[in-house]
Chain A
């Protein structure tokens, strides 16, 4: 039992993250008339042709697949906004604010509602660039991972999920080795041992 691997237990699969993103609201313009839907997770509708309605993404995609609506891409998916985000993203170390599920939402829309997105190719390549820049940032941030507590602002669900297992184990290792050093000594003793690399900042936080 002790050797049993639990790698998939505490982790969210990309599919599960997408599942969560499916509950984000988007705006659709239906082309059919349909009564209100009384779902377990809430009520939506009624739907009238050409009248915009807010529905969860999964419902939007389901209707879209059947050709019953067009999806209005969210505000942040405009070329202007994405270009600006990309630029800021490149210029600064911080993560720019984007919807928590921006990757999943954009991916679902690219896959299922491509004709509803103006300048689809441009939007898509901008989104991919943003994703790449941010992932790169995540990787560089990991190199600086020394404190026992680190905060990063504005990371998205997918980005966090990718590093979750690794970051957890890495911090665990830092923590463990720190404690090993301290275990036999009191804190005072530790100060007398210059060979121990203690370049760890006193304040264990890196505000970003």
Chain B
């Protein structure tokens, strides 16, 4: 951990494997909070974190039973609390997003596939409940043409009452390295991924190497509707972020 922080990171593979799951979860949480749409559920990461939390809980219980130094136990408890907070917050942000874009998520396979099994169940039940509630309270009392939960009226060709995440929006990113003006002509279809702290910025045209410099910039840019190709870049970027974590600036 200490070496990761202090030494400039040379080998991204090493960084990748030495990054703790908590860091990964923190990044997932941050990204999830900052992204306009729902991101892929980090199922294996969440699974690992859950196991570690359970293990830590058992340890705390055993330590308490064995009269181990209460100070140590309370520190373990704090570490546990912080991790649990992250996990809960992560799951909660996702639930909020699912609720917000409920109908859209359900009818778009791409989004639906990003949810975990439980989230899919939640989304379906939520839709059913919301649908029947709206039917009972409002829709059934409206004229026949206006009873759809998805459409303004029967004449609408598309589902125009469904909130859709705004992908064509602005996000704030932290750059891993100093970016010169050249990189940011919108014509190049800059792909910015959203996130707050660990930033990932990549360009479809040229994917910068994983060079890390001390300089960082904040970039406010347009997240154009990203294309299939940009997704690939996003994935590389995901890996690249590891560098900056957790504290961007202070990495030497």
> What residues of chain A have their CB less than 8 Å away from a CB belonging to chain B?
1-2, 4, 6, 9-12, 16, 19-20, 22-25, 34-35, 37, 39-44, 54, 58-59, 62-63, 66, 68, 97-101, 148-157, 160-161, 164, 167-168, 171-172, 175, 203-205, 207-208
A42 CB → nearest B CB, Å:
4
Decide if B34 touches A150 in the complex (CB within 8 Å).
no
For the complex, give the distance between the alpha carbons of A68 and B75 in Å: 12
Which residue in A25, A37, A41, A62 is a CB contact (below 8 Å) of B23?
A: A41
Residues of B within 8 A of A24 (CB): 246-247, 250
Distance in Å: Cβ of B226 to nearest Cβ of chain A: 16
Pairs A–B under 8 Å by Cβ, sample size 30: A10-B36, A12-B33, A25-B2, A25-B5, A35-B72, A40-B52, A40-B79, A40-B83, A41-B22, A43-B1, A59-B79, A62-B74, A97-B214, A99-B249, A100-B197, A100-B247, A100-B249, A148-B186, A148-B221, A149-B186, A149-B190, A149-B219, A150-B219, A150-B220, A151-B184, A156-B249, A164-B196, A167-B170, A171-B170, A205-B184
Q: Are A1 and B217 in contact (CB under 8 A)?
A: no
Known contacts A23-B246, A99-B249, A148-B222, A12 near B196 by CB under 8 Å = yes
- Residues in B with CB closer than 8 Å to A25 are 1-2, 5
Chain A residues positioned under 8 Å from B196 (CB to CB): 12, 157, 160-161, 164
Contacting pair A203 B185 (CB below 8 A): yes
A-side contacts of B180, CB under 8 Å: 207
State whether A168 touches B33 (Cβ < 8 A): no
A41-B82 CB under 8 A given contacts A34-B72, A62-B75, A68-B71: yes
Question: Assuming the A-B contacts A59-B75, A99-B250, are A157 and B197 also in contact, with contact meaning beta carbons closer than 8 angstroms in the complex?
Answer: yes
Mark B residues whose CB is within 8 Å of A: 1-2, 5, 20-23, 26, 30, 33-34, 36, 49, 52-53, 56, 69, 71-72, 74-76, 78-80, 82-83, 85, 89, 93, 96-97, 100, 102, 161, 163, 169-172, 174-175, 178-181, 184-186, 190, 196-197, 214-222, 246-250
Question: Is A100's CB under 8 angstroms from B82's CB?
Answer: no
Q: B181 to chain A: closest CB distance in Å?
A: 4
Contact A175 B72 (CB under 8 A): no
Q: Is the CB of B22 within 8 A of A40?
A: yes
Are A54 and B82 CB-contacts (below 8 A) given A20-B246, A41-B20, A148-B186?
Answer: no
Q: Is the pair B181, A203 in contact by a Cβ cutoff of 8 Å?
A: yes
| B26 and A20 contact, CB distance less than 8 A | yes
Residues of chain A within 8 A of B83, CB atoms compared: 40-41
In the bound complex, residues from chain B placing their C-beta under 8 Å from that of A63 are: 75
Instruction: Report the minimum CB–CB distance from B97 to chain A (whole Å).
Output: 7
Instruction: Supply 8 further A-B pairs (C-beta < 8 A) apart from A4-B100, A160-B174.
Output: A24-B246, A24-B250, A37-B76, A40-B53, A149-B186, A149-B190, A152-B218, A207-B181
